[in-house]
Structure 1
């Protein structure tokens, strides 16, 4: 085996665990507020969770084909460069640097701080201060190297399952009359098409992370067989957990109450377990958010660092520098942290998540279309895995993504406009630097 090749050691079970671990984060605990606010009715809200899962499964199955066929460092950036040219890969890297990762980090820091304020009965004026402190703390911890960041991630992954299953089990058993809260299906004052679309955007934040599933294909023993099983099995299990826990929420509190609170999971936990037990569950939720936040800080810095290594960003000399002792991309971490802290001052969790979902789904849809394009342009390309039921599965992913994008354009034109503007800003920067790009093994001039 070539020394540069990845070891093929991952089987089906660890692949399933990776899928589940990458996807389940904070959205399941906090997005019920946005979902039931958007729909005005529990039935349509539950439909949004199911549709979000179906679109994610279709997206995962589709993106996995191109991931297995082009197992290059950079993931989606490499897929877009191969299919559409360097500019689109650059714009994705730029958008991930200035919008996607910072907005994710800011949103998670805000919701972490909201949970802390609620748990400790602090004044709301402390919210932004706590959010900024947790970002700075985790940037410092990750500067100690990926081993430290990985250890935090492992502990958080285990802890996040505890509040999930505790709420599901006790919530479903807590109130025999709770089933009536699953109806009505729709609300008269909420148009179905736009309401479902807005709720779907909210649920997609909870499903975020599935695009990384294909990244493990090069390390799987049998990707053609096990990769689709891991995607369908892992995302189906995640969808089942999301649907069941939302049913548990509705068994305890009506949709109108869930829509009115910033901390739906914590409120449900207090009712089920009492004040003391509720606080323990809330701490578990905090650990889950902390882990998700750590994951985005850990991985987010790698995007500008990788671009800086190739001299693609202004200030690449500085951004490409590593910590002298721990060899972590400390300067890139500082850049992402600064942008994240600026976004924290918006104080709007749902606006930030809708913004990042809108922007990233533009590139997701391009990735799905790339699968079809490469089938035509490069029919002889080695594909260890092919998306099943082609072209039906890619069509579901593309149509679902287009619905999310168009709905955001119509219902949140300002948010969509901000996302498009910040992405387009990357184009003149690309033009000004494209003649200075260097291969990653070159030194930066």
Structure 2
């Protein structure tokens, strides 16, 4: 096995393709104490409850409060949109179970990056890291932060939009505060996640209670013809699923931090099996409450369905909904920063980013340079006039690489049938997930060719970057990476990761 230190050059080593009979020894070596060589490791501090809170906390962000109108818009009817919400939950559950097998078979932080690399090699893994770096992670985090700022400032500007500068400043401050928390202590991160997960679930229960009261008060007129106006075209169905899946996105974030999860072989699948049905049920009954109180036209004309709902049902307590959206996005962004920073940490550890990003602070045992790197990239997006245009490319790119990850599960079943698999899902599950994702990717190509085309170009642009900077890097680039690595080691009081690679 090859040992990779963070002080190595930018050139990647053979970290993805190791015979299956070496896996148990490598896995054991990676979990040994600090007796093996210099360096430090990430500490296993995340228990089952914390894992459930991370998944629920990341998934239940601004989506369920703001974007149900997207599902309704492309479904065309209340009845069909509810079916889409349920099927999105089922599909996410199937995907999460597939990732449960991948996560226990390849117990490395990094999620899709680690799985795609194990199945298809370093180039495909780098392409995922490339689009995650440019689109998926910073765009999602920036938009979540802006949503937090908009709704926290809403009570101060009740009749108009808050000034753009105020929103951007508050969003940037939120990103920085959460980055500091993530740098300082993982326990603080999990406590913040636990608290705000409870807050957002409580807010959704308020919506549900108000909706139930409205129904029992005799207001059932919106349910007279629930399937009237349903859109049956494949392209519209695909876009409805994209909007629904966007609200479920984040179910794979626990896989990004597998190395910090206590007893991952038991707790990873348990956390998935607890959290996904909980989220699906919450989303379903919340949408029923929305549709009971608001007409389809009211939902489609609203930029924030929960706020419109609160204005109609809660009277002088309507301020609760903007506050709930703010709390929800705060907790969601906290979990997203925690998990996604580990993606760049692992990418750097494998030589696909500058080695300094794989350093770990010796006092806090957190990947401080990776967290600061992610914070800087996210803050840069605030200089774009309208970063919301980037969200159009996120769903397609994410669906495509999820499809590739699940394809990797099937490929590894064929290529390495004897590989250790603590969890082995029924073969039908990844096949079903693969077929559905393939339909979504192809159908969206016909319905939104521009977004799909631009997303594809961004993915392919990573190929020359890989060969120019990773596969055969120029010497000055390697030397620069080495100097940055040494400076970060001293400035952030960090050491290389001790992890041995399999």
- Once residues 267 and 10 of structure 1 are traced to their aligned partners in structure 2, the CA distance between those partners, rounded to angstroms, is 37
- Once residues 227 and 298 of structure 1 are traced to their aligned partners in structure 2, the CA distance between those partners, rounded to angstroms, is 17
1:77 to 89, 113, 129: 113
- 2:252 paired with 1:211: yes
- 2:427 paired with 1:391: yes
SS at 2:318 equivalent: helix
Q: Does structure 1 retain, via aligned residues, the 8 Å contact 2:74–2:240?
A: yes
- Once residues 175 and 159 of structure 1 are traced to their aligned partners in structure 2, the CA distance between those partners, rounded to angstroms, is 25
Deviation at 1:92, TM superposition (A): 0.8
- 2:461 paired with 1:425: yes
- Once residues 436 and 224 of structure 2 are traced to their aligned partners in structure 1, the CA distance between those partners, rounded to angstroms, is 25
Rg larger in 1 or in 2? 2
Structure showing the higher helix proportion among its residues: 1
- Once residues 177 and 363 of structure 2 are traced to their aligned partners in structure 1, the CA distance between those partners, rounded to angstroms, is 13
Q: TM-score, normalised by structure 1?
A: 0.85
Q: Does structure 2 retain, via aligned residues, the 8 Å contact 1:181–1:250?
A: yes
Give CA deviations for 1:148-193 in whole Å, capped at 9, x if unaligned.
6555434322221221111111221123444442454445484443
- 2:285 paired with 1:248: no
- Once residues 186 and 58 of structure 1 are traced to their aligned partners in structure 2, the CA distance between those partners, rounded to angstroms, is 27
- 2:138 paired with 1:102: yes
- 2:377 paired with 1:357: no
- Once residues 85 and 222 of structure 1 are traced to their aligned partners in structure 2, the CA distance between those partners, rounded to angstroms, is 24
Name structure 1 gaps, 5 residues minimum: none
Paired position in structure 2 for 1:268 = 309
- Once residues 192 and 319 of structure 2 are traced to their aligned partners in structure 1, the CA distance between those partners, rounded to angstroms, is 21
Give CA deviations for 1:365-417 in whole Å, capped at 9, x if unaligned.
11111111111111110100111xx2211122112212222232222222222
* Cα distance change on mapping 1:125 and 1:231 into 2, 3 Å: closer
Give CA deviations for 1:235-291 in whole Å, capped at 9, x if unaligned.
1121111010000011111122111100110111222211x3110232122111122
Correspondence list, 1:158-307, <5 A: 158-176=198-216, 177-182=218-223, 184-188=225-229, 190-214=231-255, 219=261, 221=263, 223=265, 227-274=268-315, 276-307=316-347
Q: Does structure 2 retain, via aligned residues, the 8 Å contact 1:8–1:221?
A: no
Paired position in structure 2 for 1:380 = 418
| Pairwise CA RMSD | 3.3
- Once residues 269 and 72 of structure 1 are traced to their aligned partners in structure 2, the CA distance between those partners, rounded to angstroms, is 43
Deviation at 1:46, TM superposition (A): 0.9
Kindly tell me the number of residue pairs found equivalent between the two proteins.
Answer: 433
Deviation at 1:128, TM superposition (A): 5.9
- Once residues 92 and 246 of structure 2 are traced to their aligned partners in structure 1, the CA distance between those partners, rounded to angstroms, is 11
Deviation at 1:16, TM superposition (A): 4.2
* Cα distance change on mapping 1:38 and 1:154 into 2, 3 Å: same
Deviation at 1:40, TM superposition (A): 2.5
Give CA deviations for 1:275-310 in whole Å, capped at 9, x if unaligned.
x31102321221111222233334444444543455
* Cα distance change on mapping 1:143 and 1:425 into 2, 3 Å: farther
